[in-house]
């Protein structure tokens, strides 16, 4: 497109710029959706820039070869356009700044608290020198023109909803957060408001997720999940043993990888699943063996997982499945940090951090005599409990789009979107298999979708069945609802009593009794 070209719909038909001008909204036009043939190889986003009165003053457009724009590009583009619009209106407003606003700036700098000024939309229009210094901003332009929630964590938008209030929120400073007492005062015309921020206590700083994790991403913004991530990042700074507890599929290995990545350890992250290795082989897998240690031993011997994790982290998944005799060997290593290979006689001292994970209640396993109490306390120096997905449902949309984007990339497919009805089904389902089940459903949906949109017809039928049986929409009695829910779970699991009882959160005996009470068992089978 040459400089000065006309891009209106009247001149070249459907195109991102011209259609954005007509719609006054973000527009996406791909390939043959363009009227002009020379644009058929392009994918374009365009969004209008409006002044404070809502008048269009320009359009921002981004264009890539067809199929090479994705959801993350769209989000970044929308954010960039918003920043441009905010900056434009800020400059426009600054040109009209009155003497009273200049006086306000002088007053802000004379206040001992961190202070900033917001407009009615929550955009920062001014801040005092003390806040600029804290944010490491060398000029006022570095902080003005952005929405306040970029530096203040306010998930419930309290600072927009209330004209005047006092509350406690976190001020975000690079990779840290500072708990602050915040007081808001609105001006008489309610066009602007002043925030006074007072750090609480001794200004203790806790970490939030950093960007150095690469492909390892702790996706989610719910309080329960952020608490887990924050606790994990703190645990990464020390070398003590960690026990991660949570249901299957909640992301225990992901959290272990984050802890390793954020630690100062330079060695490898070495995972081993204690439940997948035959009892007779787990000792050699962990400790290795010397040549000739037993019949069939490799020439030259074998390095064990503990040695592989030297200066790094050994992740013991499903630690509750480890045989009792092996627990003794692991306990000995935790006590003296030395190993002896099978068939060898030379002790070797190692520097390895142990992270264990389980979906069992190890306290109960200790009481039953299935897990050593002394090993439990050695591993459980730091305990991290992961919430099941049903307890952080507000994270489901973000998880869906993250894994949908990843799946489309892996399958070399264009970006997908999710219909509102499909998203409702996703959000209402209980997800007994947690995030792992969610990922499997997404991958299946991408394979069978007829278009670039996930709709209810490509989702497993049991997801929709559970939505139909939701208490909020079920019109029958509680007994009828219970009967329908039990039958639905049994049919979904091919009448596997153990699996159905686990998903329903009851024991096998309780499920048998309920089937008997409902008089459905023999008739339905």
Flag whether pLDDT at 99 surpasses 60.
no
For residue 279, the model assigns a pLDDT of: 80
Domain end among 368, 385, 402: 385
Looking at the fold, whether 464 and 485 belong to one and the same domain comes out as no
Q: What band does 109 get if pLDDT is binned at 50, 70 and 90?
A: low
What CATH number did the domain enclosing 89 receive? Answer: 3.30.450.40
For residue 497, the model assigns a pLDDT of: 85
pLDDT in tens, 130-140: 888 777 777 78
Flag whether pLDDT at 243 surpasses 80.
yes
Total number of domains constituting the chain? 5
Q: Would you say residue 216 lies in a domain?
A: no
For residue 402, the model assigns a pLDDT of: 83
Over range 299-304, report the average pLDDT. 85
Domain end among 60, 94, 128: 94
For residue 76, the model assigns a pLDDT of: 76
What CATH number did the domain enclosing 492 receive? Answer: 1.10.10
Q: How many angstroms separate the Cα of 202 from the Cα of each of 235, 476, 512?
A: 21, 56, 57
Looking at the fold, whether 61 and 172 belong to one and the same domain comes out as no
Q: CA–CA separation, 277 vs 282, rounded Å?
A: 6
Pairing, β 242-245 against β 353-358: parallel
Q: CA–CA separation, 147 vs 124, rounded Å?
A: 6
Q: Would you say residue 511 lies in a domain?
A: yes
Looking at the fold, whether 289 and 342 belong to one and the same domain comes out as yes
- % of the chain beyond a pLDDT of 70: 85
How many helices (H) and strands (E) the chain has is answered by 21, 19
Looking at the fold, whether 278 and 341 belong to one and the same domain comes out as yes
Q: What band does 472 get if pLDDT is binned at 50, 70 and 90?
A: very low
Looking at the fold, whether 518 and 405 belong to one and the same domain comes out as no
For residue 202, the model assigns a pLDDT of: 41
| Contacts of 507 by beta carbon, 8 Å cutoff, 6+ apart | 501
Flag whether pLDDT at 82 surpasses 90.
no
Residue 253 contacts residue 241 (beta carbons within 8 Å): no
| Predicted structure pTM score | 0.52
Q: What band does 519 get if pLDDT is binned at 50, 70 and 90?
A: low
- % of the chain beyond a pLDDT of 90: 33
Domain end among 51, 78, 94: 94
Over range 15-42, report the average pLDDT. 88
Q: Would you say residue 473 lies in a domain?
A: no
Residue 12 contacts residue 35 (beta carbons within 8 Å): yes
Strand order from edge to edge, sheet including 353-358: 269-273, 313-317, 353-358, 242-245, 382-385
Return the minimum-mean-pLDDT range out of 45-54, 95-104, 419-428. Answer: 95-104
Looking at the fold, whether 335 and 415 belong to one and the same domain comes out as no
Looking at the fold, whether 134 and 274 belong to one and the same domain comes out as no
Over range 321-339, report the average pLDDT. 94
pLDDT in tens, 478-499: 455 566 667 777 777 778 888 8
DSSP string over 67-120: T---HHHHHHHHHHHHHHHHHHHHHHHHHT--HHHHHHHHHHHH-SSEEEEEET
For residue 96, the model assigns a pLDDT of: 58
Flag whether pLDDT at 98 surpasses 50.
no
Q: Which of 32, 167, 62, 183 is nearest to 118 (CA)?
A: 183
Looking at the fold, whether 351 and 243 belong to one and the same domain comes out as yes
Other C-beta atoms closer than 10 Å to the C-beta of 225 total 22
- In eight-state DSSP terms, residue 435 is H
For residue 208, the model assigns a pLDDT of: 38
Residue 244 contacts residue 384 (beta carbons within 8 Å): yes
Q: Would you say residue 4 lies in a domain?
A: no
Looking at the fold, whether 110 and 83 belong to one and the same domain comes out as no
Q: CA–CA separation, 246 vs 390, rounded Å?
A: 13
Q: Would you say residue 413 lies in a domain?
A: yes
- Mean of the per-residue pLDDT values of the chain: 83
Over range 273-293, report the average pLDDT. 87
Q: Would you say residue 429 lies in a domain?
A: yes
Q: What band does 327 get if pLDDT is binned at 50, 70 and 90?
A: very high
Q: What band does 371 get if pLDDT is binned at 50, 70 and 90?
A: very high
Looking at the fold, whether 426 and 329 belong to one and the same domain comes out as no
What CATH number did the domain enclosing 131 receive? Answer: 3.30.450.20
Q: Would you say residue 213 lies in a domain?
A: no
pLDDT in tens, 162-216: 888 888 888 887 656 778 889 988 877 767 888 988 887 544 433 334 334 444 5
Over range 423-428, report the average pLDDT. 90
Other C-beta atoms closer than 10 Å to the C-beta of 113 total 17
Residue 507 contacts residue 513 (beta carbons within 8 Å): no
For residue 307, the model assigns a pLDDT of: 93
Return the minimum-mean-pLDDT range out of 192-206, 227-241, 272-286. Answer: 192-206
Flag whether pLDDT at 100 surpasses 80.
no
Q: Would you say residue 3 lies in a domain?
A: no
Flag whether pLDDT at 91 surpasses 90.
no
Looking at the fold, whether 257 and 367 belong to one and the same domain comes out as yes
Domain carrying residue 424: 389-468
Flag whether pLDDT at 2 surpasses 50.
yes
Helix (H, G, I), strand (E, B) or coil at 444: helix
Looking at the fold, whether 152 and 44 belong to one and the same domain comes out as no
Q: How many angstroms separate the Cα of 46 from the Cα of each of 68, 82, 411?
A: 15, 12, 27
């Amino acid at each position: 497109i040459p400089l000065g070209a006309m891009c209106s719909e009247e001149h070249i038909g459907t195109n991102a710029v011209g259609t954005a001008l007509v719609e006054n909204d973000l527009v996406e036009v791909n390939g043959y959706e363009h009227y002009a043939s020379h644009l058929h190889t392009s994918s374009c986003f365009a969004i209008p820039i409006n002044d404070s009165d809502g008048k269009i003053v320009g359009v921002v457009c981004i264009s890539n070869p067809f199929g090479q724009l994705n959801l993350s590009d769209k989000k970044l583009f929308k954010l960039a356009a918003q920043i441009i619009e905010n900056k434009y209106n800020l400059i426009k407003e600054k040109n009209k700044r009155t003497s009273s606003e200049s006086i306000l700036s002088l007053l802000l700098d004379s206040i001992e608290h961190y202070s900033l000024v917001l407009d009615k939309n929550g955009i920062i229009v001014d801040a005092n020198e003390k806040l600029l210094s804290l944010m490491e901003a060398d000029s006022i332009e570095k902080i003005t023109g952005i929405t306040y929630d970029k530096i203040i964590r306010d998930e419930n938008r309290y600072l927009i909803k209330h004209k005047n209030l006092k509350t406690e929120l976190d001020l975000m400073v690079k990779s840290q957060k500072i708990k602050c007492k915040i007081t808001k005062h609105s001006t008489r015309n309610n066009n602007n408001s002043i925030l006074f921020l007072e750090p609480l206590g001794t200004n203790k700083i806790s970490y939030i997720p950093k960007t150095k994790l690469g492909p390892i991403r702790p996706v989610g913004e719910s309080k329960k999940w952020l608490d887990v991530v924050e606790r994990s990042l703190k645990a990464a700074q020390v070398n003590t043993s960690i026990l991660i507890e949570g249901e299957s599929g909640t992301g225990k290995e992901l959290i272990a990888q984050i802890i390793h990545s954020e630690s100062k350890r330079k060695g490898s992250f070495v995972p081993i699943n204690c439940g997948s290795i035959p009892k007779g082989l787990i000792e050699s897998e962990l400790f290795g063996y010397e040549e000739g240690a037993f019949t069939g031993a490799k020439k030259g011997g074998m390095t064990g997982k503990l040695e592989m994790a030297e200066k790094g982290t050994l992740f013991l998944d499903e630690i509750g499945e480890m045989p009792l005799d092996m627990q003794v060997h692991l306990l000995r290593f935790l006590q003296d940090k030395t190993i002896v290979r099978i068939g060898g006689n030379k002790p070797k001292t190692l520097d390895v951090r142990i992270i264990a994970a389980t979906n069992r209640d190890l306290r109960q396993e200790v009481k039953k005599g299935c897990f050593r109490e002394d090993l439990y306390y050695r591993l459980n120096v730091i305990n991290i409990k992961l919430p099941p997905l049903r307890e952080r449902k507000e994270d489901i949309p973000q998880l869906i789009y993250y894994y949908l984007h990843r799946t489309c990339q892996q399958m070399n497919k264009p970006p997908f979107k999710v219909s509102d009805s499909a998203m409702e089904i996703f959000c209402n389902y209980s997800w007994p298999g947690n995030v792992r089940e969610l990922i499997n459903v997404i991958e299946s949906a991408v394979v069978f979708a007829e278009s670039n949109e996930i709709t209810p017809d490509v989702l497993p039928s049991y997801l929709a069945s559970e939505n139909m049986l939701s208490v909020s929409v079920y019109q029958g009695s509680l007994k009828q609802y219970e009967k329908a829910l039990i039958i639905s779970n049994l049919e979904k699991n091919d009448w596997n009593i153990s699996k159905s009882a686990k998903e329903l959160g009851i024991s096998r005996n309780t499920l048998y009794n309920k089937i008997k009470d409902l008089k459905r068992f023999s008739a339905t089978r």
